[in-house]
Amino acid sequence: MAGGSFQVAEDYLTRFYDGWRDLMDNKSDPRTQGFPLMSSPFPTIAISLTYAYIVKVLGPKLMENRKPFELRKVLIVYNAAQVIFSTWLFYESCIGGWLNGYNLRCEPVDYSYSPKAIRTAEGCWWYYFSKFTEFFDTFFFVMRKRYDQVSTLHVIHHGIMPVSVWWGVKFTPGGHSTFFGFLNTFVHIIMYTYYMLAAMGPKMQRYLWWKKYLTVLQMIQFVLVMVHSFQLFFKNDCNYPIGFAYFIGAHAVMFYFLFSNFYKRAYVKRNAKEKAALKANGHANGAIKTLKDGDVPPTRNGQLNGSANGFHNTFSKFTTEMCNPALNTTTRQRALVNAGNK
């Protein structure tokens, strides 16, 4: 009995392995098989898991007894390089198709060896490679002890992207699903420009009022990707692999809700509390003015002072605990030098 069960398990494993090899070797795009890291998804998965371990465990431990690095010049150069890299990737996606003949309704993958098709496939690989370079966003946060920026959203977003893009490069390096990279590289041009300016210091503060609109832009990006992907469920007249439409669309939905929740916490709720605090401050100032003019009986002086002090303590606690730590007085200047959450 035991021997028979072992034989059945062995047969299942053999079939699974044979099916896996058939998928990797015979059903993937042969043009990208020789590209670095394309033979198997496991090296990419290992790199992404290592990234998560470094930024959440190893990095903070190594920095525990060290002073934070400033890295101001490094950040300026790094973000400038990312702007240039993203601009080139966006240009390649435009020339590769999205401003050069691609159909927004449905675009098949060109598996030929034509110069345009090969250029598009290579551009897809470089987009995949760019997801590894973005790990340095988080590494720099850890080196500067900006652990408030190493949020779950940040780590999930950066850690999952190389693995997700790997499948696209392996099986569909071109066509409909590259719309995500087309939009994403454009967003990254704007995003890294912001971080480069922020790294230049307090003198740039007046020009950085539009930070929250970066998150809005990212959410718009995910909505457009959702619509673009899910339209194939109703009509797929270009025979695009429908599994990848599900795959890209599901990622867009997940990231939309993650970024939407971040936006609500970072801006909507914070603004509502700030308005409530300002309104309370106005009432307190009115009461103090009335007392100053002599309209309030002296017997209420102690009660009024107690209320004003209570408001002051509440507002102080609010600004310390509820606001983004980067906006606190003690860290304001450092936050302007360091980029915000990416």
- Lowest mean pLDDT across 131-135, 187-191, 277-281: 277-281
- Lowest mean pLDDT across 95-104, 162-171, 332-341: 332-341
pLDDT grade, residue 291 (50/70/90)?
very low
CB 334 within 8 A of CB 70: no
> pLDDT digits over 208-224, tens only?
999 889 989 999 999 99
CA 330, CA 333: separation in Å to the nearest integer? 8
Q: For the whole model, what pTM was predicted?
A: 0.77
SS3 at position 104: coil
* Concatenated DSSP letters of 154-169: HHHHHHHHHHHHHHHH
- In this prediction, residue 186 carries a pLDDT of 97
Whole-angstrom Cα Rg for the chain: 26
Positions marked catalytic: 157
CA 167, CA 29: separation in Å to the nearest integer? 10
The two structure tokens encoding residue 289: 């003015």
Give Cβ neighbours of residue 240 (< 8 Å, ≥ 6 apart): 106, 107, 108, 109, 172, 175, 176, 177, 232
> pLDDT digits over 53-74, tens only?
999 999 999 999 999 999 999 9
Distances (CA, A) of 17 to 11, 40, 106, 162: 10, 13, 34, 24
First to last CA, the chain: 57
The mean pLDDT value for 99-114 works out to 94
> pLDDT digits over 231-269, tens only?
999 999 999 999 999 999 999 999 898 888 888 888 887
Please work out, in degrees rounded to the nearest 5, the angle formed at the alpha carbon of residue 51 by the alpha carbons of 46 and 57: 115
pLDDT at 187 over 70: yes
DSSP structure class, residue 111 = -
pLDDT at 89 over 70: yes
Q: Average pLDDT of the chain? A: 83
CA 187, CA 209: separation in Å to the nearest integer? 17
CA 268, CA 272: separation in Å to the nearest integer? 6
pLDDT at 307 over 60: no
